[in-house]
Amino acid sequence: MTWLAAAACLAWAVLLFGRGMFWRARDDDRDALRLPPLAHWPEVQVIIPARDEADTIGATVRSLVMQDYPGRFSILVVNDRSTDHTGALARAAGAEVLEGRGRAPGWSGKLHALDQGLQAVAGRGHEFLLFTDADITHAPDSLRRLVQRAEAGGLDLVSLMARLRCESAAERWMIPAFVFFFQMLYPFRWSNDPAARTAAAAGGCVLLRRAAFEARGGLTPIRGRIIDDCALAGLMKGGGSAIWLGLTDRVHSLRAYPDFGTIRAMVARTAYAQLGYNPALLAGMVLAMALVFLAPPLLALFGTGGAQWLGAVAWGAMVVAFAPMLRRFGLAVERGILLPLIAAFYLAFTLDSAWAEWRGRGGVWKGRALSRE
């Protein structure tokens, strides 16, 4: 037990000091007001893939119509065979609407919708593309700040992780941990470092320099990927592009997760895909989660001697690491004491994702299975 507790403490030392200080949650766009103005504001084409998004598409489009961007920009919604009034509501809010076709073999649904939008605007003169989801709202200066950051830093991809909704009890317990785990897996500082291999983006808001994006082959090289945002970031960075990802309060997600079941479905949709559908990686992840999140409280509560003290130290490190993210969501830092229980839920969701894939029912979203590459 003492060796197990020591291993847990070592793991938390590595997480606190060896993964780009991800837990501090300071890789964000708070410096946006200091970005230099531009002499030339390049034209931007916004593309929004939408399937059965009648509840949110109007707010999304209106937030984009109201952008204070000094240059030209256009908004195209690709209505991906919605069964509700998504298309009509998007038009009423001020967007151009393209009626999507059936999904082509080998393509995931969202990427195929985006690709249809790209084909429709191919002859236009835009220099940047903004991919944003149909449940995302943007502050009036969002587009302007994105372009300023891209031009100031010579970046070919700029992405903002939308502030996720955190209102229901399930959201308050689970959503801050979702962002925490994402940053632990993809430290933003590493992703933003050209010398590091890590590459990540948040699919709800991705600005792309058109020339560099087309030079990488567009979406075709990643057409079957379920975790399309990080795949796109990897494609761009792997081709030599500088990329940037940060947290923000300028972009908000309207997607509601009223209970634990909806959060389970959200996580289970992609969790096993994140592990490359590899049973060995799944087993390794289970062992790592058990060591890092489950062993410390068990040792602190039920261990003896040095094992108990080391378990308590690791548990305390966990609480300290989670505190900045809880503060970001306006929640009490004392909730961090229950991070082991929250991690156990996410571990169960991941196992559920693998089980669904093994039964041939993996990646289901809005009534259809996503493509598996």
Q: From CA 37, how far away is CA 145, in angstroms rounded?
A: 9
Q: What is the DSSP letter of 273?
A: H
Single-letter residue type at 173? W
Six-digit token string for 64: 């984009």
Q: From CA 269, how far away is CA 36, in angstroms rounded?
A: 40
The class of domain 27-258 in CATH terms is alpha beta
Q: From CA 299, how far away is CA 53, in angstroms rounded?
A: 46
Q: Which residue has the tokens 């991705």?
A: 206
Q: What is the pLDDT of residues 126-169, one digit of tens each?
A: 999 999 999 999 999 999 999 999 999 999 999 999 999 999 99
Q: What is the pLDDT of residues 17-56, one digit of tens each?
A: 999 999 999 999 999 999 999 999 999 999 999 999 999 9
Q: Which residue has the tokens 């960075």?
A: 237
Is residue 100 within 8 Å of 80, Cβ to Cβ? yes
Q: From CA 300, how far away is CA 314, in angstroms rounded?
A: 9
Q: What is the pLDDT of residues 261-300, one digit of tens each?
A: 999 999 998 898 888 889 999 999 999 999 999 999 999 9
Q: What is the domain partition of the chain in residue ranges?
A: 2-21+262-358, 27-258
pLDDT for the residue numbered 373: 47
The values of phi and psi at residue 189, to 5°, are -60, -40
C-alpha of 1 from chain center: 37
Closest Cα partner for 335 from 351, 346, 322?
Answer: 322
pLDDT for the residue numbered 368: 57
Q: What is the pLDDT of residues 295-327, one digit of tens each?
A: 999 999 999 999 999 999 999 999 999 999 999
